[in-house]
Structures are given as C-alpha cells and as structure tokens.
Structure 1
Amino acid sequence: MELYTEKEAFFNCAFLAALANGTSVIHEVNATPEIESFADYLRNLGAQVNINNNQWEITGTNFKYEKPLNLDWVGNDFPHQKRNRKIIECLLNGEPFNCEEKIPVKDSLIRELSTFGAEVEWKLDGPDESDELAKRFARMQKIKTEKKWVCNIPPVHTLLARDRYIPGDATQAAFLTLAASLTPHTEATIKAVNLDPTRAGIFAAFKKLGADIEVVSRRERGNDVWGDLNVKTAKNLIARKLNPDLLSICLDEIPLLAALACFTESEGIAEKEKETILKLPPWAIDFYRPLLEAIYKNLKIAGVECGIYEEGLIIRGKTDIVGEGFDCQNFPVLGLALSVLNRKAKSKEPVKGIECVEKVYPPLPNR
C-alpha cells in the first residue's frame, strides 16, 4: 500500500532547502494538493523549484529571500508549532534558539536543521534512571528529578544542500492499519511509513490495545527512520488506559484510536478494566474538545458507551456496532475513522461530510 509523503516533515525539509546554498533533491515525493501548492510558496521566497517524476529539485537562496516571509504553513496552535515558528524566526534573524520540553513532540524541523548542516544540540537531560542510590537520595531530599529535552541552536549563517527522502504519512498509515485490524482474515503491508518516535506514537498506542503490527523492514539514514508495517486482523483487543505522554505524540490520530477502542474487551472483572481511557495532555484539552465532542456523538450513533470527562475520553468497547448517519463534521481524520466504523456497522448511508477527506487525501493509484 502506497502512502502520501508526510506533509509537515516535507514542508520543513523543503523550506530549509529553499534557504540553503546549492541544489537539494527530495526523492520519491507522493504529493498531496497541499504539498503541490507549497512549490509556489518556495518560488515566491526566491528559490528555484523543478518537479520531475516525483523528484523535487530545489535550488536555495543562501538566505537571500524575499521579505517578509509568511509562516502560516508552520501553524501556531500546538506547542511544537509555536516552538518551530520561534526556531524559524531565530534562524532568519541570525539569533540563537534555546528551549526545554518534557516530551519531544514532532521534532522534524530540529532534525532537518541538523541534516542541512546547522549546529544543533537536542538531548535528553535528567537523572540516570539506573542509579538507584541517586534516586533514593533525591526522594529523601524531596528533589524533583524530572527528565527534559533540551534544544540549543546557535546562530545559523548558512545551510548546505542535501539529497533527501521524506517517508510516508503516519496518519494515513494509521487509517490503513485500523482498517486492516478490524477486517476479518486480513494481512496487509504498508510501505515506507514514517517511524520517527515523535510522529509514530499511534502505532505504539494501537499495539497497547492489542493490534497485531510488526515492523518488517526498518531503515535509517541520517536522522530519518522509516519502515514497512505488516498488519494482521486484531484477534484480542484489550481496554487500556493511555496516558498523556503517549497521546501527546499521536494527537492527530485520536479519532482512529477511538475507533479501535470501540472493539476492546475487558481483561478483568473490575469495572475500570472494561474501559479504554484516553487521557490527553492538559494543554490539548480545550483545543481538542470540539473534536472529542464530534467523536462522542458518532460513537453514540454506533451504540458504543462512551463519555467525555475533564481529561479526555472514556470508551467501553463491544463486539459489534450498528448505526446510520455518521457525520465527520469537517474533521478529515474523523472522516477516515468513520469510514471504517461505517463499514463495520454495515451502514447503507455514506458518512456525511466525507468529501473533506479527499481534499486532504485524494486517492492514490495503489492505495
């Protein structure tokens, strides 16, 4: 199964290529409409962009760009987007950048900077977990020993052109994984999936619920990690509590995770063991509430017991679902999840608003 190129990682790579000295080549680009339109943005910046047979050749400006730059493509809603925007602003102004994060969420811009030759310090800082004596001493002294990720980037004066490859979109791969997991007697291979730990958390979450997923071909080049996934029909999905640390690296795929949770079973007899609990990071609650409410309404249509609480979503799975009239409410990833639930419910009606999905993920020939 073929995937579209990961959009955010591609944007970061192509933008740095447009600032670099020389011609960078990005190979095997399966471009969505958003990616295709990004070529015009790069040309307006002053870069030369040639596209031939899914290969992008970008001749950079060596920081001689047209001012001012529009950074709307970066976004400004999530912590990693705010961090990336600040990194780019420091990059363009020749200023150093420094930050600390508890969880390294979507760090592709930081890794791309390192790939293009910038001096980047991106490391985990904190106590040695294997040092039991130090941990006991810290507890006795009531010293907090939280780990954190530290990023330090000195002023960048030049970037070097590179040959690059950006793996397939993790969200699209998660949709195909969900469909394969819930389809009887199915085995599928999904090619060249982005396995960057800060982007591919959804597969760890799926496996925690009991999905049968195996990385059958893992490849690394420089700062990039990707591979092929072998997915089989899930035979034993188990209700679990998923914590904020895990969900913070798969927030884009929450609707797909909720859809899989609809079919989980209890591992014990206690009431709490019958429920899958999706506990979101505190900073994400307000932003994701409209999406959570849309998920809740659709799961109720399917006859699934669920509820929204102050920290996320609770779902009590069942063997089979029924229902008509699913509505994705213009959330594309929810549309992907509901297309799977719609099929499981044997609904004769299409998902309402499903058109929004094809605007983001139009059909690929081998999809």
Structure 2
Amino acid sequence: IDIGGPTLIRAAAKNFKDVLVVVNPSRYDELISKLKDGVDEGFRRRLAVEAFEHVARYDAVIANYLRKRLTGEKFPRNLTMTFELIQKTRYGENPHQEGAFYRTIPEIGEGCIANSRKLQGKELSYNNILDADAAVECIKEFDEPTAVIIKHATPCGIASSGNIFDAWIKAYETDTYSPFGGVVAFNREVNGELAEDLSKYFLEVIIAPSFSKESLEILGKKKKLRLLEIPSIKRREESICFRSVTGGLLVQDRDVKEINPEEWRVVTRKKPSKEDIKSMVFAVKCVKHVKSNAVVFVKDTHTVAIGGGQTARVDATWIATHKGKEKIKGSIMASDAFFPFRDAIDVAAAAGVKAIVQPGGSIRDKEVVEAAEEHGIIMVFTGQRYFRH
C-alpha cells in the first residue's frame, strides 16, 4: 500500500494553479503541446480532477480488499466502489438520454458482458448491454447445450438439448415473433450449421464462448450484427449485486443458490415422475429470470410458453397459455412466487397443463392445492421464491 505517492498526487492536485499533475499517460502528448503553446486554466482543472479520481480509485480498491480480507463485512457503513469507463453509448435507454457503460474495479474473473470481446458489429447500445447481461446471467444456469433468447431484458425462449443447434430451434419455437431484434446466448461454440440458421433472422447480438471460423464467415456478412465472445460463460461466483434508486443504492446477495429438488414437497395425491422432476428443475431455472409476476410452461427441457411482467399472476398465466395454445397440453408450469388465488390454476388447467411447480406459502395454499386436485394436476412446492423486479 503506497502512502507517499498518493500524498504527492493529492498535494499537487490541490495546488493545480501552480503545479501540473499527470496520472494518465494518454495525456503526455497534450501536455507537451500545452507546455510549448501555453497551459490554460481548463487543462489544469481537468488534470487536477483526474488526479483526485485516480487516488480515490486507488483508495477504494484498497478499502474493499481489506474489508473482505480482514472483516468480511458485507454491508459496511461506508460503501466505497470504483468503476472504469468501457464506453459511452450513443444514447441511454431512449434517444433523449445520455448513457455510458462502466466495469467494476478490480475486474471479476467470471465471464460477463463487461469483459466480453466484441468480434464484429456495431457498438453496443445501452439496451443491448442490458439485454446481453440478462442473456448471460440466464445461460449460466445450465450445463447442457442451451440457447437463451432475450427481448427487453426478459427471456422469450429457452431450451437445453443434446446439441446446440437443436437447443436453438426449440428455444426459437417457443415464440417465433418476439426474437425479432433480440439477443441470443449460447453456452457452446457457434458452428457453421447454427450460424447459417441464425443468419436468417434479424438479431441484435449473439453471445457464445466461441465462434468457429465457418460461423464467422457466415455471420460476417451481416456487418451490423454484434458477436460477443465470453470464454468463461459458465462460471458463477458468489457476490453482491446493486440496483440504483434515486438518491441511493440497493445492495443484496446475488442469487446463486442451487436448485435442489430433494428439498421440494409434493402436495397432491398425484406424484411427479423422474422425468417430470427434471422438467420442473429446468422450468424453475427459467422462471427465475423472467420479470415478475412470471410463469413458464415447459416440455422436457425447453419452454413452450412464457408469461411475465404482469401485475396479476392470472394475467401472466393467461398470456402464456394464449401464446402457447396447443403446446400447453401436457406441459409443466412453473411460477416464480405463490398463487394468491386459484384462478391461475383454473386457467392453466383449461389449457391442459400436466403439473405445476411453485414456492407455496400463500394463505390460500389449501384452496390452490384443492384446485390442482380437482383438475388432476400434480403440484410441487419448492419453498423458494424467485421475484425479479
């Protein structure tokens, strides 16, 4: 831990009217030019600000390292963080807003959108980054070859299969309208066969641990299409995550809790088979990444319908069954939270659902279970809620 260096930098920055302090080598050429032609007040001020930012960043990194090493305190009284600019975006969420993208310092070792490598395409937009992050975080749930399609930061198709091409086809078949202008993530290399099919659609971003030479030649014909490579896309680390609110910051544990069906409880007379449990695990992994209120319907290990972002769970269920139509028959439904009423069960039953997996915990659980019994539906309580706001 350096003491003298930061002290000299701070002292020089404080005395910026008489001292030029340079902490960024990219400023050297400009400094030499200014020394020859004259140093203006604005340049002195910029250098001083950069100096204080540099020292503050150094101190923040030290403080965070020592807190983790010496005290292990997760939520300290004073939370110091530092970030480094990756890029300024063309605009923010909307054209009338300005935006930028920063990475945490020090960088994390886990594969993420902040350390991805862009192989081709336009600069990532603010919304591209949000969607890409949602896709990457979702794909990390799965070990089998998996495809995740994201639109407006929520999944519209997820599938795992024996090979990555089949996973893509099944994910796309969930909802053939929503992927237009979407983001797709894979946890296996994109090969030529997959690239050929992907090239038929308008997509904003494709993310994968790697791209074959043949796939790059095929997708390279779509000059604006962004290809992001994240080699360690499967890795997940325990950490804390942040959400900004006006005037403050919300901090919580990142949700990396393993899904363990041995902790679940069957609450109906009809029992799920091993195949049903496998599908339920897949469904729970999917629904935890859909905006609440959320439900998903799956067969085997692929979604057939997704309903999310609704203020009433019955509406999310109706939307999913309306979009899934005949595909709902014989499917398994997962809900991110308990059912406050039996209405969503009745809607799912009318569409032909086979089984439902949900956290349980409602004051009307008895009524909800009775509805499942009445319709001959298997119901399992996980005891684990997955709200996503």
Which TM bucket (shorter chain)? Answer: under 0.3
Which structure is higher in RCO with an 8 Å CA cutoff and minimum separation 6?
A: 1
What is the TM-score of this pair, normalised by structure 2?
0.26
What is the TM-score of this pair, normalised by structure 1?
0.27
